[in-house]
Copies of this chain bind each other. A is one copy, B any other.
Amino acid sequence: MPSTTVNGRHILKQHATGYPIPGTTTVYDTSERLDLDNVALNGGVLAKLVILSIDPYLLHSVSPGSPMEQAAETCSSEAYGSDRINGMGIVKVVRSEDPAYKVGEYFTSSLSRARLTSSSDHQEYSVFSKEQLSSLQHLKPENGLPLSVYLGAAGAGARSRFIPSLFKMYQPCIPSGLTAFAGWEEFSNAKKGDTVFVSTAAGAVGSIVVQLAQNQGLKIIGSAGSDDKVKYLKQLGVDVAFNYKTTDTREALEKDGPVDIYWDNVGRDTLDAAVENATSGARVIICGAMSSYNGETTAGVKNLIHVTFKSIVLYGLSYFDIAHKHDAKFKETVIPKLADGTFKYLEDRKFGLDKAPQAILDVQNGANFGKSVIVVGDE
C-alpha cells in the first residue's frame, strides 16, 4: 500500500454573492489525500505551496455572484463552475519530470483557473501538468528579502503582458509592488508641489504609492481604518494621516487639500469626497473598489459635475495592461530600496492554509495590517 499524505485544501463549498462566510461558503478541507511519491506527473511537476498571497481581488473566486466576478467574466467569457479557489502563491518543486523545473526551486504560481486534469489551487500540494507549467514563473530571491515579500511589496511580473487566451485559463496575479509602481508611473503625472491623497494608504499597494510620492517630495494625505495604521503612516512620513472611521474624509480634504492626484482603493463616498476636493486637471487612479467588491453596487462618483468642471481624468488601473511597461524599472529602482530599508513594507503573516477562509474576509474588512500572506509550508 502506498503511503498517502493529507492534501489540505481551501475550497468553495457554497456560492456567496456578498462576503464569504468562513466555515460555511468557504472551508478548509482535509478529505483529499495524495501519494506524493507516486502521483502521476505526466511530464509535469509536483509542487508544495510555501506562501499564499491573500488579496482583495480574491473575492471573485470566493463570491462568484459578486460584481467583481461579473466584470471578470466579461474579460474571460468563461463560466466559473468549480469548487476551487485560485490565487497567487509561491510553490517549491517536490518532484519533477521536466528538467527546466528542478527540485527545491521556487516558482511564483498564478494557479489554474480552468478545470484541467490536475489540481493547482489553494491547496498544499499541486500537480502542474505539462500544459500548466506556463503558469509558473521562476523566482530567484535576491537582496536578502524574505520570500513572501515577492508576493507583495517586491512583487512583479508573473506574466509579461496580458494575453486574453491565458486569462481564460489562469487567475490574474496582481502583486502589490508593481501594481503601485506601474500605476504611479503610467497615470500620476506627478509635478513638484502636487498634493496626493491615498486611501487605504497603509495597505499593500497604498503604502508603496505613499513612498513613491514621498520620494518625489510631494505632500501626502493618507487615510486608513485604524489608529495603529494611522500611526504607521506617520512613521512612514505621511504629512496628513487620518482614521477615516473617526475623521470625516470630506472635512479632512477640505482642510488639507485640494488634491492633485487621488489614488483610489475604495470608491464610493471617498472617491466623491476626493473629486469634490480636487484641483482642476486632477488625476484619479482607480486601483480598487473595496467598497463595492462585496456585491453592493452603490460605489462610484455621484457628482460628475466636478469631473467635467475641473477636467478631471479617471484612469482604471488594470495591472495586465501596463505592468510589462514598468517591470524593468521597478526591479531596478524599487526592489533595491526595499532591500536596503529605504522603502518600508509590512506583512500580516498567518500560519497554515486553514487560516485562508478568514484571511480573505479580513482583507475585505481591513482587519489585516500590512500585506496579507499565509505561510503554508516550510521554505
Contact = CB atoms under 8 A, between A and B. Distances in A.
Contacts of A322: 311
A309 B67 contact: no
Nearest to A279: B74
B303 A302 contact: no
Contact of A304 (B74, B289, B303, B311): B289
A331 interface: no
A313 interface: yes
Chain A at the B interface: mostly helix, strand, loop or mixed? Answer: mixed
A214 B311 CA distance: 26
Contacts of A287: 308
A307 interface: yes
Nearest to A272: B300
Contacts of A301: 299-301
A72 B71 CA distance: 34
A302 B300 contact: yes
Interface stretch (A17-25, A290-298, A342-350): A290-298
Copies of this protein, total: 2
Contact of A312 (B272, B299, B316): B316
Interface in A187-240: none
Contact of A299 (B267, B276, B303): B303
Interface in A304-323: 304-318, 321-322
B281 A321 contact: yes
A115 B192 CA distance: 38
Interface residues of A, number: 42
A212 B289 CA distance: 35
B321 A71 contact: no
Contact of A71 (B281, B286, B288, B303): B303
A315 B302 CA distance: 15
A280 interface: yes
Given A67-B305, A298-B302, 17 more contacts: A71-B305, A71-B310, A72-B309, A75-B280, A271-B304, A281-B321, A287-B308, A292-B302, A292-B305, A297-B302, A299-B303, A300-B301, A300-B303, A304-B316, A312-B316, A313-B314, A314-B314
8 contacts: A67-B303, A68-B305, A71-B306, A74-B310, A286-B307, A300-B303, A308-B317, A314-B316
Which are the 9 A-B pairs with shortest beta-carbon distances? A307-B316, A289-B304, A311-B318, A314-B314, A300-B301, A300-B300, A71-B305, A312-B316, A311-B321
Interface of A: 67-68, 71-72, 74-75, 267, 271-272, 276, 280-281, 286-289, 292-293, 297-318, 321-322
